[in-house]
Amino acid sequence: MGEDLDRTVLPDGMIAFPDPAAVFSGDVAAHRRVLQPLASIPADWADRSWRGMLHFVAPIEPYEGLLGEETTEFHSGYCRTNWIGFRVESGKYTFLGDFRFFRINKTFDGEHALANKQYWEDYYSKTEASFAEVKANFERTGKLHRRNYRPSPWLTTLGGESAAGNWASDRRVETVVGRDGREVAFPLTEDGRRFRFVGEVRGGAFRKNGADGVLLFLDPETQIALLTFEWT
């Protein structure tokens, strides 16, 4: 994937809009209800010793603010504000949290319960429609873009070091000076080791209201994939 290549052309080996059954294990429908599979890449693109596939997925939430801000009672070590984690087994993801972490699954109660539930149902429906439109554009043109937008690169970054952004303000992220003098950042495992950076895609290229960046990390020792989202 040299600099002279047209990065708006889907690279050989990368799968755009993968089948949810090839991305998620266990209750596939529960995963797909709240998560959109964006793209899959061979794990050895990030590290030649790795095997299988790794997946960029995006939560349909949030509409405003950050993912998980309103569901702190369902947070866990790898599922917290602006972060979601997955166990990777046989190239598939299993969510490491409670699905009530996503607002759409949290119990709606009180005077405005029905209106709140309808609000989220409508938002999910509109977001899925936007995602489906981009997928249809890809199937027709082979390019990644929303209506009236220029084609986007399929990958913003692959491997190496992850440049620190707004996402790196989390207390369990270590920020250091990288090899080229830039500030880089690494999320940490529960025992304090650095996750490895896999890559980044533009969430907003796949749908309306998508994150500016969807960053994917992996801990090869525990086979935990961790995703965070850059909003600028």
List, for residues 105-161, the tens digit of each pLDDT value.
Answer: 987 777 667 888 899 999 999 999 999 999 999 999 999 999 888 999 999 999 999
Task: Specify the pLDDT at position 5.
Answer: 64
**The two three-digit tokens of residue 57, written as one number:** 């997925």
Q: For position 181, what pLDDT does the model report?
A: 78
Residue 1, pLDDT above cutoff 80: no
What is the percent of the chain where pLDDT is above 70? 97
Shortest CA distance to 59 belongs to which of 38, 40, 35? 35
52 three-state secondary structure: coil
Please tell me the pTM assigned to this model.
0.94
SS3 percent helix, strand, coil of the chain, rounded to 5, is 25, 30, 45
Bond prior to 62 in cis (omega within 30° of 0): yes
* Residue whose entry in the numeric block shows the structure tokens 């025992």: 191
State whether residue 142 is helix, strand or coil: coil
Q: Is the pLDDT of residue 2 over 50?
A: no
Q: For the stretch 28-50, what's the b/e string if a residue is b when 16 or more beta carbons lie within 10 angstroms of its beta carbon? A: eeebbebbbbbbbbbbebbeeeb
The Cβ of residue 223 has, within 10 Å, a number of other Cβ atoms equal to 13
> Which H helix or E strand runs over 95?
strand 92-95
Helix (H, G, I), strand (E, B) or coil at 86: strand
What average pLDDT score do residues 215-228 get? Answer: 98
